[in-house]
Amino acid sequence: MAHDHKPTLPTRCTECQQLMDSPIACAACGTLGELPADTFDSFELFGQQRSYDVDVEALHRKYLALSRVIHPDIAGGEASEQRRQALNLSAELNRAYETLRDPVARAAYMLSLAGGPSASEMKTVPQSLLGEILVLREAIEEARESGDATTLQTIKQEIAAKRQVTLEKIGDLARQMECWSGDIRRQLREQLNIIKYWNSLLEQIPVNLAEAARTGQGAT
């Protein structure tokens, strides 16, 4: 089910009456927001419009600023209830940041907000992809066993290029949020499923290819 979305208008701090650019805390005086952080979506916690295109550097700066304001050792004070609130806000802020900073997680989150299918509800990928994945897995295994760093590097570059194409498709689909149809949502879920396969393959290739080559040669 899609989440009803009403843009959060800037509200004034109950203590200093300054406009708050995030509902979780006042940057001017440090007063914590009165409503639970899970009342808002991840975009609203950062005072942003719901959009796939995010300035990650600006997001990071906002995250650091808000983290300082709501840090339990600073905002918690002596009162146990206030400290508990600061801890909860910090946890929600961390989750929101990890979601928005990653383009794949961001697209998946937007899809869930729009009521699109989850990974458990729709596991579809093109049948041809499964055969391609199998071939690449075998090639990776053979190259690792033989210590062939050159082949591993070639395979890694090939998979990374395919992942980038998929990521671009995810971005194109996620940017159509305003006019998302059921078909667009299903297409986005399929691309999100596909990128998991590319990620899994990349994880099978050692980061240190030279070390992998020495290991493979030592095993022969």
- Residues 16 and 88 reside in one and the same domain: yes
Tokens of 136: 């690449």
d(CA 108, CA 188) in angstroms, rounded, equals 8
Domain final residue pick, 65, 83, 101: 101
* pLDDT value for 130: 96
* Per-residue model confidence as pLDDT tens digits over 81-101: 777 777 888 888 999 999 999
Q: What does the DSSP 8-state code read for residue 19?
A: E
Per the structure, the complete domain to which residue 26 belongs is given by 11-101
pLDDT of 43 above 70: yes
* pTM, to two decimals: 0.83
- Residues 79 and 152 reside in one and the same domain: no
Q: Which of 64-73, 125-134, 211-220 has the highest mean pLDDT?
A: 125-134
Classify residue 157: in a domain, yes or no. yes
Classify residue 164: in a domain, yes or no. yes
- Residues 207 and 145 reside in one and the same domain: yes
d(CA 15, CA 54) in angstroms, rounded, equals 31
Q: Count other C-beta atoms under 10 Å from residue 22's C-beta.
A: 24
